[in-house]
Amino acid sequence: MTTATAVKERPILFSGPMVRAILDSRKTQTRRIIKPQPITWKHDERGFELKRTDEHRPVFADTFAKNYSPYGQPGDFLWVRETWKTGCNLDKYSPKQIREKYEDAGYRLGDRANGKCCPMLYLANGEHKRWGDYDIADFGEWGKTRVSIHMPRWASRITLEITGVRVEQLQDITEHDAWMEGCHDSTIPTKYKTSVAWFHELWSSINGPASWIANPWVWVVGFRRV
């Protein structure tokens, strides 16, 4: 008798531009620095062998991805954390208190019945004065900015299914993968001759030029929006 493997879901942070790229179906891949960096044991025709600093036995890169990925494996899910706001009438409440407030009142979060709902603004979409069928004036005004790290699961609007996980060094990114990272659209800046060049600058703007030069090992996580 076989036992079904439980599907897991984990949070993942994305900046506003990357959220927009996901919503536009331009981004289906992300790279994250492996922490701590694995030790490169050796490299031959079979590929790299790596080991963690707290392990004694090196493993090949594909096994390393299966054993240690903090993002999960194909079939698992990631829910996106992004910068957000609620109506200013909720500023004094924590995310947990907001959830309890609406659930205790018998409403699902996001339920707009009779206007008794939790207005949500995702800053990746920019500021606006309406929320669905309602004018934000119905709720006062948009409140304080809530950083992405404090977004709870109930507030997340984007769920991603993992389609692949591997490890490689940052500078090994191909032109195709740079496209999958979202570095392409109809308005690609003329200063970028390639998508890799665009990704290089994007990465450096987020992680610093020294990070690109260091050429760290990264998790390469492929996904599709659910």
pTM attached to this predicted model? 0.87
Q: What is the mean pLDDT of residues 61-75?
A: 95
Residue at a domain's end among 129, 148, 167: 148
For residues 32 and 41, what is the distance between their CA atoms, to the nearest angstrom? 21
Which segment of 22-26, 89-93, 102-106 scores lowest on mean pLDDT?
102-106
For residues 173 and 128, what is the distance between their CA atoms, to the nearest angstrom? 37
Structural domain harbouring 176: 9-80+157-225
Q: What is the mean pLDDT of residues 52-70?
A: 90
Q: Is residue 126 part of a domain?
A: yes
Residue at a domain's end among 148, 172, 203: 148
- The β-bridge relationship of strands 77-81 and 9-13 is parallel
Same domain, 191 and 211: yes
